[in-house]
Chains A and B, each alone.
Chain A
């Protein structure tokens, strides 16, 4: 941020290049999330790869809703949820509803968690991810009129919690650098 920007007052409209820069930085969280989701569907040949997609979506929505909700508005969460439903072959609306709820929870807990450290955020995420996996499991059963084994839901919760630190570290680096509109 330039020195002049730190002082209050009226100043000329930012130039086109700067506005583009700000917009691009604001778009980083969404693009990063969608790109990662598409990447989890690539033929990586990992066992249990199908569960990576909801896990990555949950982690991304939780992280960015907590640290940078202004770049991660509800309509974006809606689109990510739609992508999760379509790519993950979930019944339409199941992933969408769950991710929007996760977003809402993150927004309410934001102030409380901002002062705590990473471990706290991770612990709360463990609860949120378990609840989200349960919600998706219940919705899939409800929308398909079918009883399903709870094992995939448990695996989804465990995998989400396990990969959260792996994603959070690069996300935090991006949050401080490329995704920060104030750096423009």
Chain B
């Protein structure tokens, strides 16, 4: 080690903070110049931490379940009555659905309908928030040989969750449909009109760009549209809800606040997947 005089050492110690502040500005520039660098560092960090979080998920989940159990015991009577009502309603709907399904099958058979290909899926556990304060995303823990690719579709048991945006060796990051950067082509179910669902970082994304002459109805169901080849058609997203300022928003069907397990579907779509870095260099621009 180099021996310095006490004065020189004190001067150096006083310089460290300004130099590091300048270095943090340099990091900002570096992060802007090479966005992939930060992404790769994050994925590597997430890959390292995911097993720890996955191991923690089980005991933490048990604590959660115990708390929920206690709360549930408290209002079991009311809950029971509510469920009985709901069950009756659902039974009526089930008979309607079964009749419609049978009719649908008959009609398809008489039309020689080509069935949609079955999509393959993997199920993964959500281990951490991957959005921070200014983004909405979740981190999935997936096995080492998962085969998940960017652009695949994440769905929970109720509806669309989002799309895979980053894939590491043990983790995948899913950008939620509520994120500020999320744009999803959708169809209004009753009018069949197309629109775009735009995330705002808030709990309800906004509905924009529906055609003239069509007005999204309160409570109307919103499904994905196959336009742009990014999503398969008719995945449920949610229902229209008019906000206080009169702008139509969509209440997501998926439980985005407490995602635990999601399914990642591979529909073989690559409409708007971000190009890989090697393929990005366009001729004439280097």
CB proximity of B256 to chain A, nearest CB, Å = 12
A92 at the interface (CB under 8 A from B): yes
Determine the chain B residues whose CB is within 8 A of the CB of A134 once the complex forms.
Answer: none
Stretch at the interface among A7-15, A120-128, A144-152, A171-179: A144-152
Partner of A75, one of B16, B131, B202: B16
A93 to B89, CA, bound (A): 54
B274 within 8 A of A: no
B258 touches A45 (CB 8 A): yes
Q: Mark interface residues in B134-156 (1 if CB within 8 Å of A CB, else 0).
A: 11010000000000000000000
In the complex, B247 has a CB within 8 A of chain A: no
Which residues 69-104 of B have a CB within 8 angstroms of A?
Answer: none
One of B38-46, B204-212, B262-270 at the interface: B38-46
Q: Cβ of A152 and Cβ of B21 under 8 Å apart? A: no
Q: Answer yes or no: A43 CB below 8 A from chain B CBs.
A: yes
A100-150 CB contacts (< 8 Å) to partner B: 100-101, 103-104, 107, 136, 139-140, 143-144, 146, 148-149
CA distance A149 to B16 in the complex (A): 35
Which residues of B are found within 8 Å of A38, using beta-carbon distances? 49, 52
Which residues of B lie under 8 Å from residue A75 when comparing CB positions?
Answer: 16, 20
Q: Pick from B16, B57, B134, B202: contact of A90, CB below 8 A.
A: B134
For B52, B129, B258, which residue has the most chain A Cβ atoms within 10 angstroms?
A: B129
A104 to B27, CA, bound (A): 19
Contact of B31 among A41, A77, A78, A93 (CB under 8 A): A93
A42-B60, A74-B17, A146-B180 as given contacts; A93 in contact with B132, CB under 8 Å: no
- Is the beta-carbon distance between A100 and B20 smaller than 8 angstroms? yes
**Cβ contact within 8 Å between A50 and B129:** yes
In angstroms, Cα B131 to Cα A53, docked, is 11
Contact with A along B268-279 (1 / 0, CB 8 A): 000000000000
| Residue numbers in B under 8 Å from A148 (CB-CB) | 134, 180, 201
Q: Is B177 an interface residue (CB 8 A)?
A: no
- In the bound complex, residues from chain B placing their C-beta under 8 Å from that of A74 are 16-17, 20
Instruction: List residues of chain A with CB under 8 Å of any chain B CB.
Output: 38, 41-45, 47, 49-51, 53-54, 73-75, 77-78, 81-82, 85-94, 96-97, 100-101, 103-104, 107, 136, 139-140, 143-144, 146, 148-149, 152-153, 156
B residues in contact (CB < 8 Å) with A: 16-17, 20-21, 23-32, 37-38, 41-42, 45, 49, 52-53, 56-57, 60-61, 64, 126-135, 137, 180, 200-202, 257-258
Instruction: Name 7 A/B residue pairs within 8 A (Cβ), A-sorted.
Output: A42-B52, A50-B131, A74-B20, A86-B42, A89-B134, A100-B17, A144-B134
